[in-house]
């Protein structure tokens, strides 16, 4: 249970941005979506190659908090 979803979203965003930077990406974050009282999601896209990253403060039981191709594959530029 996440009490402060904005705080958590900010933390995940920082973490995801760093992980993507490590692979050479420059992430531009899109709008955040709020679902219920504890869930927030946000998508980002690399400005160079278009690979995406998704963060979710309260994913489904089999889901992950940070995911997307930008985390797994390096930037093509
Ligand atoms: Zn990239």
What was the pLDDT predicted at 2? Answer: 47
Q: What is the mean pLDDT of residues 18-32?
A: 97
What was the pLDDT predicted at 4? Answer: 84
CA of 1 to the centre of ligand 1 (A): 32
Q: Grade residue 53 by pLDDT with cuts at 50, 70 and 90.
A: very high
Note whether residue 33 is domain-resident: yes
CA of 32 to the centre of ligand 1 (A): 21
What was the pLDDT predicted at 77? Answer: 59
Structure tokens at 74: 């390096």
CA of 74 to the centre of ligand 1 (A): 7
Q: How many domains does the chain have?
A: 1
- Cβ distance 54 to 67 under 8 Å? yes
Closest by CA position to 68, among listed 49, 44, 47, 48: 44
pTM: 0.87
What was the pLDDT predicted at 18? Answer: 97
Note whether residue 42 is domain-resident: yes
% of the chain beyond a pLDDT of 90: 74
CA of 9 to the centre of ligand 1 (A): 21
Using H for helix, E for strand and C for coil, what is the string for 22-71?
HCCCCEEEEEEEEECCCEEEEEEEECCCCCEEEEECCCCCCCCCEECHHH
Note whether residue 37 is domain-resident: yes
Note whether residue 53 is domain-resident: yes
The residue segments making up the domain with residue 66 are 5-72
């Amino acid at each position: 249970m996440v009490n402060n979803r904005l705080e958590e979203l900010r933390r995940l965003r920082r973490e995801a941005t760093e992980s993507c930077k490590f692979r050479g990406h420059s992430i531009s974050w899109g709008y955040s979506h709020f679902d219920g009282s504890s869930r927030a999601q946000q998508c980002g896209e690399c400005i160079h190659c278009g690979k995406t990253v998704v963060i979710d403060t309260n994913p489904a039981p089999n889901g992950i908090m940070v995911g997307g191709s930008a985390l797994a594959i390096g930037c093509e530029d």
